[in-house]
């Protein structure tokens, strides 16, 4: 009995402490600087960035506000972002922030890409498929392309005159690389490409697509996969229907098919049969982009909800005056800031070239799970 009473007292003490902690945390919802308005999570200081990133962030935020947000509803109806937005973004350096200077880029590190990921989430404009174009597809050409391939594609990709996509997923097989059925077979010094892909982001507007194709049986050469640069103008390149999705309506997603496309030998990107290694080496950045965008969406949802509860009134007072709602907002802010700290750590590791696929996967899992939870709570 004594032990039971002691345990009960301990639990009561912990509960009281939890209530006090939550009450104190609820004050952080309205935390203010020494002077001025409450600090927005969209603008809170982060040691990860310096003044150059802040200046770039201002450029991206202004561009989205002036060139994308006013037209985004129309983009969602049409299911695609028009090319003038791409070229305008290219002129502002948004599509080449991390690309080599020699091809027209700014030569920045991944923190500049993170600025774009975050600002796009803050703006609520999912439309332009910039991440796939600039931070997933373009790096393959930068890292594995020949001098001729880089010279041919990178300048126009950076300027937004050419839109890029990457095609891995296939009907019936998903993203299981072992089951890829699209084939590229030798035809003298050329290749013959046949197959189909689905759920391809930027698929309806892409001018060049990095295609994963089987070039050897798996038992003969690992996964037996290779990457190819395929121009959308090539005879035999066909676009299927534009796919309707639950969300991201302005970001075009399409089916692609390749009917006996003759590709020159120079279209091979990277090492023959080496696609699996190339793809695995790029996964950390792809996962990091999703994680950073997800936690940025949480920050944006929190700020929208905080503004709403301040303005909405019920029973003679604003919703912000109800302690229960303050506690819920405190929970959201706490979880968001904790996840933000982890994702920022991952970005810093990626800058150093130390981010592993496993850590990036954890960041993606944590951030996207939180994004779903925050969306539900805020609604």
Q: What share of the chain is helix, strand, coil (3-state, %, to 5)?
A: 55, 15, 30
Q: How far apart are CA 274 and CA 145, in angstroms?
A: 13
Q: How many of the other CB atoms lie within 10 Å of CB of 94? A: 27
Helix pair 2-27, 323-351: axis angle to 10 deg: 80
| Residue found under tokens 């308005």 | 37
What are the b/e assignments for 314-339, b being 16+ CB within 10 Å? Answer: eeeeebbeeeebbbbbbbbbebbbeb
The vertex-148 CA angle with 146 and 149, nearest 5°, equals 65
Question: Sign of the C-alpha dihedral, residues 325, 327, 328, 330?
Answer: positive
The vertex-365 CA angle with 61 and 48, nearest 5°, equals 45
Residue 286 among the catalytic residues: yes
Selected catalytic residue, list 76, 286, 299, 303: 286
253-263 vs 237-242, strand pairing mode: antiparallel
Question: Tokens for 336?
Answer: 């968001």
Q: How far apart are CA 66 and CA 69, in angstroms?
A: 7
Contacts of 89 (CB under 8 A, 6+ apart): 63, 67, 95, 128, 130, 160
Q: How many of the other CB atoms lie within 10 Å of CB of 245? A: 12
Question: Tokens for 120?
Answer: 């796009």
What are the b/e assignments for 25-43, b being 16+ CB within 10 Å? Answer: bbeebeeeeeeeeeeebbe
225-231 vs 190-201, strand pairing mode: unpaired
253-263 vs 190-201, strand pairing mode: antiparallel
Question: Annotated active-site positions, please?
Answer: 286
């Amino acid at each position: 009995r004594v032990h039971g009473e002691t345990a009960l007292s301990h639990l009561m003490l912990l509960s009281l402490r939890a209530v006090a902690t939550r009450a104190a945390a609820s004050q952080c919802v309205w935390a203010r600087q020494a002077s001025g308005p409450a600090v927005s999570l969209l603008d809170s200081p982060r040691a990860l960035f310096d003044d150059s990133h802040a200046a770039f962030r201002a450029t991206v935020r202004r561009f989205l506000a002036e060139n994308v947000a006013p037209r985004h509803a129309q983009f969602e109806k049409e299911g695609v972002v028009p090319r003038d937005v791409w070229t305008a973004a290219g002129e502002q350096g948004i599509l080449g922030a991390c690309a080599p200077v020699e091809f027209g880029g700014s030569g920045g590190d991944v923190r500049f890409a993170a600025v774009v990921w975050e600002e796009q989430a803050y703006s609520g404009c999912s439309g332009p498929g910039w991440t796939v174009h600039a931070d997933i597809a373009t790096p393959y050409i930068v890292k594995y392309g020949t001098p001729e391939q880089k010279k041919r594609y990178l300048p126009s990709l950076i300027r937004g005159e050419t839109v890029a996509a990457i095609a891995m997923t296939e009907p019936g097989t998903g993203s299981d690389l072992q089951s890829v059925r699209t084939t590229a077979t030798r035809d003298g010094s050329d290749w013959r490409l046949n197959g189909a892909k689905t759920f391809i982001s930027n698929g309806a507007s892409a001018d060049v697509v990095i295609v994963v194709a089987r070039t050897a049986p798996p038992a003969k050469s690992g996964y037996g996969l290779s990457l190819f640069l395929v121009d959308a103008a090539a005879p035999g390149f066909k676009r299927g229907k534009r796919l309707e999705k639950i969300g991201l309506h302005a970001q075009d997603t399409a089916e692609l098919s390749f009917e006996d496309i003759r590709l020159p030998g120079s279209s091979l990107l990277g090492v023959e049969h080496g696609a699996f290694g190339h793809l695995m080496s790029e996964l950390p950045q792809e996962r990091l982009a999703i994680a950073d965008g997800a936690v940025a969406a949480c920050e944006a949802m929190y700020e929208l909800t905080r503004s709403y509860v301040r303005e909405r009134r019920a029973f003679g007072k604003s919703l912000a005056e109800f302690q229960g709602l303050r506690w819920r907002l405190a929970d959201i802010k706490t979880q968001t800031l904790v996840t933000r700290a982890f994702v920022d750590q991952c970005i810093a590791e990626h800058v150093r070239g130390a981010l592993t696929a496993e850590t990036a996967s954890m960041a993606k899992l944590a951030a996207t799970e939180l994004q779903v939870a925050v969306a539900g709570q805020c609604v």
